Structure 1
């Protein structure tokens, strides 16, 4: 089996679903954001503030290429699809899963979250970012799972059935 990579907008549940999926499959779970924070000794907001989004996207691309290996679940940052080279890389990987979540659900999940630099903007900017990325996720994913009305357990089961594991 190759790695299972979860993509989707911030708040889609990539980390929660990824942890549950890795437990169910008894394989390692990795989160690209946590790897970046550990390797740089900075939080994501600090990286954005000190070096900008472009620098963060490069770190993200480097980590993605480094962590792809057998038998693990990888949760990516919501913006991993911003770079075309990442979208192409993900699309070539047969177990790239888009956790699709509608904007109303995202708003509910992130209403008190102040830790996401690109979410702490105007409503119009959030909407533009969400709409732009939806096309990118679709382009990069091999499997799409709508998560709005599913529990974490049901989302994991749906992923497993789509992967035929």
Structure 2
């Protein structure tokens, strides 16, 4: 298991800390949301608009499931935990790290979540999404890092000590 996969809510800092973590540990870095955008030739929000929620999740599952790398930090989209094949692949090939934050912190960090390409069901609030996803993050994580009150450097250090 020489990869590190970062999971957590949108706004948890997966991409930001992932780049720094990769530099410090001498690893490569991949943002799976960017892989999805590259494959589809569209922004995440536009893929969701075009394909619908289930269509987007099928694409997200395929892209993440097909990642085959070594010595790499992989920042995932927050909805990857709905993608069973992808998550089972990551559990086999990587250390999965859940960056855990309170709902209040996530809410404060996120602006327009639809602009960010967040997968939301019709009528679903950010709080509903938080309650739905947190148990899935915990289910798939090898390591849970409480990031509450931590800056990016502190979070990176906390993750690097646990992996």
Same fold, TM-score > 0.5, yes or no: yes
CA distance in 1, matches of 2:162, 2:96: 11
What is the rounded CA distance, in whole Å, between the counterparts of 1:55 and 1:121 in structure 2? 13
Q: Which residue of 2 aligns with 1:86?
A: 86
Whole-Å separation in 1 of the counterparts to 2:94 and 2:47:
31
Q: 1:1-165 counterparts in 2 under 5 A?
A: 2-111=2-111, 115-118=115-118, 125-163=125-163
Equivalent pair of 1:6/1:74 in contact (CA under 8 Å): yes
Alpha carbons of 1:126 and 1:119: their partners in 2 closer, same or farther (altered >3 Å)? farther
Q: Deviations over 1:40-85 (max 9, x none)?
A: 1100010011111111111111111222321010000000001333
Shift of 1:88: 3.1
SS of the counterpart of 1:115?
Answer: coil
The Cα shift of 1:156 comes to: 1.0
Asked whether the equivalents of residues 87 and 140 of structure 1 are also in contact (C-alpha less than 8 Å), the reply is yes
CA distance in 1, matches of 2:19, 2:159: 13
The alignment's TM-score, normalised by the length of structure 2, stands at 0.90
- Higher deviation after alignment, 136-145 or 88-97: 88-97
SS of alignment partner, residue 85 of structure 2: helix
Measure the CA separation in 2 of the matches of 1:116 and 1:70: 28
| Counterpart Cα distance in 2 of 1:58 and 1:38 | 16
Gaps of 5+ in 2: none
How many Å apart are 1:120 and its aligned residue?
7.8
CA contact (8 A) 2:62 2:86 kept: no
Counterparts of 1:56 and 1:94, CA distance in 2:
24
How many residue pairs align between the two structures? Answer: 163
Equivalent position SS for 1:134 = helix
- Provide runs of 4+ in structure 1 moved above 2 Å: 83-94, 111-114, 116-124
